[in-house]
């Protein structure tokens, strides 16, 4: 809200200044100036979001409690912009996240499974997204969960190192995605991306088996941790017997894939 107030305040000051100059005869009709002015203001709003990301106030967040659930299923749908999904939800909460215009959430308990659906619109359009310019969500670390993320032209930061995620599915278009897989238990990560840059981090204590569809422009896999066994196929030594391990499948169009 504070950043939106800055936007409106700056807009009113600049328009007022143009009107003053017009009444004093320094400039003619101000209408031709309004479109460039709008572009300048929106650009400033986006840049401000990069360098100033204040903590969320209580009125800018929401929470979904765990309640009686023993497991959870999350699905995030995101249009464009920036989104961050991490662990760290407070005790007793399944999900804590940004609230704002363009965001809808639904949750219901089916048996012992809590289903949560979040639709988050663009984060970069003034007044239609989160006030800090980035959708931020924290997941529970108390119960096992499955996670699906569908995004368009987005910048995604998904850190599940401390989350008990058994299955993670990521579907993106032209995007930049950074994903940290769970450090505990057995997990499956499926990525289906378009023209994308994909960076995957595997915690040091976690073994991994990695399959990358041939055709990706650039593949960079840490072969000291994940030796190459075949074309597009890499696997940690001792993977089959590892207690903590991740199975990673990547299908991508034009783009780059890094696993480390």
Each residue of 130-161: b (16+ CB within 10 Å) or e? bbbbbbbbbbbbbbebbbbbbbbbbbbbbbbb
- Neighbouring residues of 57: CB distance < 8 A, sequence distance ≥ 6: 1
pLDDT in tens, 129-148: 576 678 999 999 999 999 99
- At residue 224, does pLDDT exceed 80? yes
Burial class (CB in 10 A: 0-12, 13-18, 19+), 212: buried
Each residue of 65-76: b (16+ CB within 10 Å) or e? ebeebeebbbbb
- What is the reported pLDDT for 6? 56
Average pLDDT, the chain: 85
- At residue 104, does pLDDT exceed 50? yes
Q: Which of 29-38, 164-173, 201-210, 217-226 has the lowest mean pLDDT?
A: 29-38
pLDDT in tens, 37-92: 766 766 665 555 555 555 544 447 899 999 999 999 999 998 888 899 999 999 99
If one compares 231 and 183, the residue with the highest pLDDT of the two is 183
| Proportion of the chain above pLDDT 70, given as a percent | 81
Model-wide pTM > 0.95: no
Interatomic CA distance for residues 129 and 141, integer angstroms: 26
The pLDDT of 161-176, averaged and rounded, is 94
């Amino acid at each position: 809200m504070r950043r939106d107030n800055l936007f409106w305040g700056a807009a009113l000051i600049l328009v007022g200044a143009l009107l003053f100059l017009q009444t004093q005869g320094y400039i003619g009709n101000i209408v031709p100036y309004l479109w460039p002015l709008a572009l300048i203001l929106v650009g400033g709003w986006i840049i401000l979001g990069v360098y100033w990301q204040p903590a969320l106030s209580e009125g800018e967040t929401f929470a979904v409690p765990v309640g009686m659930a023993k497991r959870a299923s999350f699905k995030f749908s995101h249009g464009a912009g920036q989104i961050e999904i991490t662990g760290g939800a407070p005790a007793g909460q399944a999900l804590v996240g940004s609230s704002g215009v363009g965001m809808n959430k639904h949750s219901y308990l089916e048996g012992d499974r809590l289903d949560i659906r979040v639709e988050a619109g663009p984060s970069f359009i003034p007044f239609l997204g989160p006030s800090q310019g980035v959708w931020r969500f924290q997941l529970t670390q108390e119960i096992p969960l499955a996670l699906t993320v569908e995004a368009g032209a987005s910048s995604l930061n998904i850190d599940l190192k401390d989350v008990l995620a058994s299955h993670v599915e990521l579907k993106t278009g032209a995007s930049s995605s950074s994903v940290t897989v769970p450090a505990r238990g057995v997990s499956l990560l499926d990525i289906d991306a378009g023209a994308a840059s994909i960076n995957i981090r595997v915690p040091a204590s976690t073994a991994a088996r990695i399959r990358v569809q041939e055709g990706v422009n650039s593949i960079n896999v840490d072969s000291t941790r994940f030796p190459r066994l075949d074309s597009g196929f890499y696997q940690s030594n001792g993977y089959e017997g590892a207690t903590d391990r991740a199975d990673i499948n990547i299908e991508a169009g034009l783009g780059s894939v890094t696993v480390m």
